[in-house]
A = this chain, B = another copy of it.
Amino acid sequence: MCYRPAVYPAVPSAAPTSESIRDRLARAAFALFADQGYESTTIDDITRAAGVARRTFFRHFPSKEDVIFPDHDSVLDRVRWYLGASTKTEPVFAVAEATRLIFESFMETPERTIARYRLTREVSALRDREVASVAKYERVLSDYLRSRLPDTSEAALAAHIAAASFVAAHNQVLREWLRSGGAKDPRPALEAAVATVSDLMAPLIVRSSRQGPSSAG
């Protein structure tokens, strides 16, 4: 018995156990960030508010920045799963649908998306983090397109351009919705943007899909 066994229950009476520790941490973090800012909120503050130990935070989130994107990995998995099952559909159509999937994941928790937007505008570290997570979506899309296209550098270029364009369209619609304060339904704007990119990219992808050098001339 080297240590004093003062292990009180983490949360004496409040906070029913129904909410997972991970959710408690994320909720406490968002609240504190909104209240006193990201940089002046320490991990100690968050864990105190969530009623857990400091060490526990890093068991649920690899870093302080990651708590802003609590479900990023699951969305990424969902997109991967969808595209993994889309071996028969038209590649551009599948990527368009994946773009909608990503967009809907942001619309599932609008308050959090808005809070995150506020934070990423103010804290450059978080902005960089968001950019990095968007790049992961782009990577998933381009990997899929490359898997559906011949193994040429022209097709690889087309895949990257298309993936970047869909992601750019997604971001533009999302940002415009966020800048407007999350007023009206952004889905029509997303449909228009996805249609624009689909029309733009279809010939590029089709051209890349053409096998063999016989058509060059």
Taking Cβ atoms with an 8 Å cutoff, the residues of A that contact B are: 127-129, 131-132, 135, 153, 156-158, 160-161, 163-165, 167-169, 171-173, 176, 189, 193, 196-197, 200, 204
Contacts and interface: CB of A to CB of B under 8 A. Distances in A.
Given A132-B128, A161-B200, A164-B165, A156 B176 contact: yes
B129 A197 contact: no
Q: Which of A127, A132, A158 has the most CB of B within 10 A?
A: A132
Contacts of A200: 161, 200, 204
Contacts of A176: 153, 156
Contact of A164 (B156, B167, B173): B167
Contact of A163 (B128, B168, B173, B204): B168
B197 A161 contact: yes
A35 B135 CA distance: 29
Nearest to A128: B132
The 4 closest A-B pairs by CB, nearest first: A164-B168, A128-B132, A164-B164, A131-B135
A27 to B, nearest CB: 25
Contact of A172 (B135, B157, B171, B189): B157
B172 A156 contact: yes
A160 B153 contact: no
